[in-house]
């Protein structure tokens, strides 16, 4: 039997349950699906103390070993996340210190959801591109300006450090780790066992345009964004939008970017891509009609926008995410 690939998952009070059990299940299924002779995964839960740890769901999980007992042999360190009663990421200094020490001799490190805040506090994301749950991405960027925060992808790999987005994205991240270790075939077999699509690419957006819009300080900008998403096939050039706001184009562009963090053109394209995604998921309309209905105009423009924003093609996206009968 080949030596095992040791996966250590950190657990601590109020940790998100799926952050722990999702990766564990993927690695366990990978052991069943991989060919003989491959390195099987050995998944261990490590906590501050021996015994039971209460998760955010109220379900208790038992540690296999304490932080002090983990030792030097860690092939993959998985760091889940937790939030407090106000939705802020929990960043315990003692846990951060252990993560920093353990990461020095780990083959790779992966965070799930808001676990990225722990990696950042441990100094593991400095100078790297990382993602986290969309709701805390702004905070991660503010607290750690040395981290290049991209709130859009499902997961991001930066060298030997991986970061995942929302809680369910832990499955996509774990499948990507399995694919790196054992190839796409094994990862595909695991995904089939889980009745999942294989595999949502790391560049796949974790949220829709209307979902992530933080309220602007100016109500008229909020109203304009809502109007844009309802009128995607119209003239949404900066000049036309500025005219609607009764502002000069230059002043409008400056105000819009200040309030939203995006240029008018970037926001419009994101909204149109989101509309195209919904059409690809829920209809059989040909690509040229999807392009027209979403305001992108042509199949060629649709293709370029998907490549730029999602890292995939419209046809590949539809194959993975088609939901209509």
| Active site (catalytic) residues | 113
What element of type H or E holds 5?
A: strand 5-10
Query: With the CA atoms of 130, 266, 210 and 164 taken in that order, what torsion angle do they form, in degrees rounded to the nearest 10?
Result: -10
Residue 134 token pair: 């969309």
**Among 121, 75, 81, which residue's Cα sits nearest to residue 98?**
121
Neighbours of 162 (CB within 10 A): 26
**Per-position DSSP letters for 31-67, written without gaps between them:** HHHSPTTS--EEEEEEESSSSEEE-TTS-EEE-SEEG
User: Can you list the pairs that 235-238 forms with residues at least 24 positions away whose Cβ atoms lie under 8 Å?
Assistant: 236/264, 236/268, 236/295, 238/263, 238/264, 238/265
Neighbours of 57 (CB within 10 A): 12
**Per-position DSSP letters for 208-246, written without gaps between them:** -HHHH-PPPSSHHHHHHHHHHHH-TTS---HHHHHHHHT
User: Can you list the pairs that 300-306 forms with residues at least 24 positions away whose Cβ atoms lie under 8 Å?
Assistant: 302/276, 305/269, 305/272, 305/273, 305/276, 306/273, 306/276
Q: Classify burial at 308, counting beta carbons within 10 Å of its beta carbon; exposed 0-12, middle 13-18, buried 19 or more.
A: exposed
Residue 297 token pair: 């105009």
Number of Cα atoms under 13 Å in the Cβ half of residue 102: 31
């Amino acid at each position: 039997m080949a030596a095992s690939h040791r996966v250590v998952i950190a657990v601590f009070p109020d940790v998100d349950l799926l952050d722990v059990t999702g990766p564990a299940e993927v690695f366990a299924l990978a052991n069943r699906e991989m060919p003989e002779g491959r390195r099987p995964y050995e998944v261990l839960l490590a906590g501050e103390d021996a015994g039971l740890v209460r998760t955010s769901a109220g379900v208790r999980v038992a540690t296999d070993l304490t932080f002090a007992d983990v030792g030097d042999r860690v092939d993959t360190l998985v760091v889940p996340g937790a939030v407090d009663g106000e939705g802020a990421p929990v960043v315990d200094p003692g846990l951060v210190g252990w993560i920093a020490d353990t990461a020095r001799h780990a083959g790779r490190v992966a965070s799930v959801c808001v676990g990225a805040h722990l990696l950042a506090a441990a100094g593991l994301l400095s100078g790297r591109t990382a993602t986290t749950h969309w709701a805390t991405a702004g905070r991660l960027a503010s607290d750690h300006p040395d981290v290049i925060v991209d709130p859009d992808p499902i997961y991001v790999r930066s060298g030997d450090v991986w970061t995942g987005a929302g809680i369910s994205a832990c499955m996509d991240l774990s499948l990507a780790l399995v694919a790196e270790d054992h190839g796409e075939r094994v990862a595909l077999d695991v995904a089939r066992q889980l009745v999942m699509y294989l595999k949502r690419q790391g560049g796949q957006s974790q949220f829709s345009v209307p979902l992530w819009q933080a309220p602007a300080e100016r109500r008229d900008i909020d109203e304009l964004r809502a109007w844009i998403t309802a009128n995607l096939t119209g003239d949404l050039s900066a000049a036309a939008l500025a005219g609607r706001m009764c502002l000069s184009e230059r002043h409008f562009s400056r105000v819009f970017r200040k309030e939203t963090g995006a240029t008018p053109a970037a926001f419009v394209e994101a909204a149109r891509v989101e509309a195209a995604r919904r059409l690809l998921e829920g209809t059989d309309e040909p690509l040229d009609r999807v392009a027209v209905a979403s305001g992108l105009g042509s199949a060629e423009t649709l293709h370029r926008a998907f490549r730029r924003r999602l890292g995939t093609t419209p046809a590949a996206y539809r194959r993975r995410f088609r939901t209509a009968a």
